[in-house]
Chains A and B, each alone.
Chain A
Amino acid sequence: MSLFDKFRPLAEARASLGDHDIPPIATPIDDISSAAEGVIGGLPVILAGTNNYLGLTLDSEVVAAAREALEHFGTGTTGSRMANGSYRAHQALEREIAEAFGWPSAIVFSTGYQANLASISTLAGRDEPLLLDSDSHASIYDGARLGYAETVIFRHNDPDNLDRRLARLGERAKNALIVVEGLYSMLGDQPPLAEFVEIKQRHGAWLLLDEAHSFGAFGRQGLGLAEQLDLLDGVDFIVGTFSKSLGSIGGFCVSPHPELELMRLAARPYIFTASPSPAVIAGTRVALRKLVDGQPLRQQLWQNIHRLYAALNRLGYRLGSDQPGPVVAIILPDRATALAHWRGLLDVGVYANLMIPPATPKGMNLLRISLSAAHTSAHLDHIIESFEHLRLAA
């Protein structure tokens, strides 16, 4: 009997992936050469699984701003936002996020995970109704648990299913928080947001949209799916992360409701943790400006997206979504095939993500590509040729 016995199924699942020097889970990256290239197992690879949608991690101005803040302010704030961890730059970034949306309030968190954890656990308090899409990210489920909300799950991307659950709540629906994502990170699919907004408005409920993977990629200013669909007026809270399109680490919640500010007084994942380091904040501020003005980056990103989608469809792969987006999920019949694809790609210099149950919906085995504006036409040529060879070998 051991405290560690309960981890045995996880250990068995990991063992089923083999004991190769380069593991498909938590793959060690030896070096980074650019936003789109690195070194794994001593060999150069195209990074096609890093969520670096705009390729801003090594942008010279972003790096310079982070370096300057690092040298001036030091390595960390050593404190919570509620104590000594609120520098002027933290507040400036919050103002800049709010201004980008044209809303009165934004709060910055130390990670994207904490942004959801804090927002959901605080907005949906004990016994208050909370409705989550079944494919929600773990941070959303964990936020539900932390707040002791009365959590009900509705079928993934199913407006009628949500509608029925809100109807059962009766008058309580007016105090219900609905949470959906702008782009689901496993299958790369998008929600029927206009229908969700209509249902939310009809029941008088509240809607939180997690734009972690859609921020930067969708909308003229890159603000996400709600901007792209002209639905910002129908959303109450948008949560986002700095660790994808903005290329750093951290997260935010932004809202048209000025009362969002009150959340600072109650959100445990905001209060009881150190604030983001000055270098992270400085780099993120420059990256945010580049994201908002980043139409050429988005043009390049979408060119890459359409190219890869077309090629994978031509090759007959089953994809997680028929709506093209920066996350491209290839559904493979079983774990062995998915693992063979992952290793086959790595062998020819393409790093993607292997995604297996229980992280995936409906027990799917996936190979996930995330595209970037930093991918060149030659990168796409090589990725597509690699899939052609894998298809021929199958």
Chain B
Amino acid sequence: MTTTERIRHAIAEAVATSLPELQAVEFDAALTGDIGLDSVQIMDLVMEIEDRLDISIPVDILAEASTLNQLAIQIEALVKDDA
């Protein structure tokens, strides 16, 4: 599994765990606008992703990511920086 696949897989699993009410994981949907998440729900989602990837995600990354796709890109950059 490539790093990109591993990150997207972890995000999908985290969404399923922390937001079970969502029918499908849409990587292009806006987290606040389309999906309607509030700041607390986004924080819960990020903590789930952190646990699955065993990384720490600084909260300022969230300001750069309004969709799951953008979040995946930010996390990939973070993982590469750490490597």
Contacts and interface: CB of A to CB of B under 8 A. Distances in A.
A76 interface: no
A152 B57 contact: yes
B50 to A, nearest CB: 8
Nearest to B63: A145
A153 B46 contact: yes
A151 B59 contact: yes
Contact of A155 (B47, B54, B58, B60): B47
Q: How large is the interface on A (under 10, 10 to 19, 20 to 34, 35 or more residues)?
A: 10 to 19
A144 B59 contact: yes
A150 B57 CA distance: 9
Contacts of A155: 47
Q: How large is the interface on B (under 10, 10 to 19, 20 to 34, 35 or more residues)?
A: 10 to 19
B41 interface: yes
A152 B56 contact: yes
Contacts of B59: 144, 151-153
Contacts of B41: 363
A361 interface: yes
Interface in A354-370: 357-358, 360-363
A6 B47 CA distance: 27
Nearest to A154: B47
A165 B39 contact: no
Contacts of B38: 357-358, 363
Contact of A168 (B40, B44, B46, B56): B56
Nearest to A132: B59
Contacts of B43: 134, 153
Interface of B: 38-41, 43-44, 46-47, 51, 54-60
